[in-house]
Structure 1
């Protein structure tokens, strides 16, 4: 009984403090309009809320400039200039220069489309799993840290052309 009584006193005190605070803020008014508070004016002219949709930033520009389709990700696998450093993940595809990605954080994911991929060199600190498609089939490959892994057509007994569609990384 003592515990229940103590809880009731604390709840009652909290309600009373809340009511006093409301009265002090509103000046005793029961209605507050947008003209009574500067928040209305700021809210009407301020920037909107940022809502993460996981779409890859500047994907249209990257597609136009480099012919790489980057769709969605959590921001831990980023397209990088291959000359920008060491330890990058490298994607090798026929008829194009290697494509590099900087991998950060504990876990990353990126959906994309790169055709004719035959090999991937893992980043320095992250292992990876990649999903690829060939026709209507989906195949997954494990990529070891900091080493080259045959994937796609180089790992396919029939030598079929594979499209890289997703990269997942973990430390």
Structure 2
């Protein structure tokens, strides 16, 4: 029985010595220093509005309308979807309509050969158009049909900006 005690004691001492030796060796090894990085480089980031019109490439390919930038308060709409829309008449194409979703908004775009507009019932509309090297602007009250661009001076005009205000 004495031999068994000696054997158990020896085994216990050897195990403890091995664990101690492993701890000393591990502690002496250089460890990787904790790194710190700025959160902005690894986090999800911020959503920054660039005001580019969503789906503009698809709309250009399907409808031939260049929609550039806006604040989201003037959006392309189906002219048959409802009555209270901004409606633009352009030579050689179907009417182009926009829904106004706020009291103020802006949209930069390119629609060639625009000659008429019907404004929304609730907002005044400011249009900027170009003809050759000239920039022409129109202020049109709410709920109005008006000739613009080509129907006013006979030159082809491109609608380049829409601004609405209450």
- Superposition TM-score, scaled by structure 2 size: 0.74
Q: Distance in 2 between matches of 1:47 and 1:82?
A: 39
Distance 2:87 2:55 in 1: 21
Is 1:139 aligned with 2:154? no
Q: Which residue of 2 aligns with 1:49?
A: 46
Where has structure 1 moved over 2 Å in runs of 4 or more? 32-35
Partner of 1:68: 65
Q: Distance in 2 between matches of 1:48 and 1:86?
A: 41
Give the CA deviation at 1:33.
Answer: 5.7
Tell me which structure has the larger Cα radius of gyration: 2
Query: Residue 82 of structure 1 aligns to a residue in which SS?
Result: coil
- 1:4-19 correspondence to structure 2 within 5 Å: none
Unaligned segments of structure 1, at least 5 residues = 1-31
RMSD (CA atoms): 2.0
Aligned to 2:151: 154
Any idea what the Cα deviations from partners look like across 1:12-58, whole Å, max 9, x if unmatched? xxxxxxxxxxxxxxxxxxxx9659xxx96xx73x5331111111111
Give structure 2 stretches of 5+ with no counterpart: 1-33
Name the count of aligned residue pairs: 133
Establish whether residue 113 from structure 1 lines up as the match of residue 110 from structure 2: yes
Name the SS of the counterpart of 2:80 in structure 1: helix
Report the Cα offset of residue 143 of structure 1. 1.8
Residues 1:91 and 2:88 are matched in the alignment:
yes
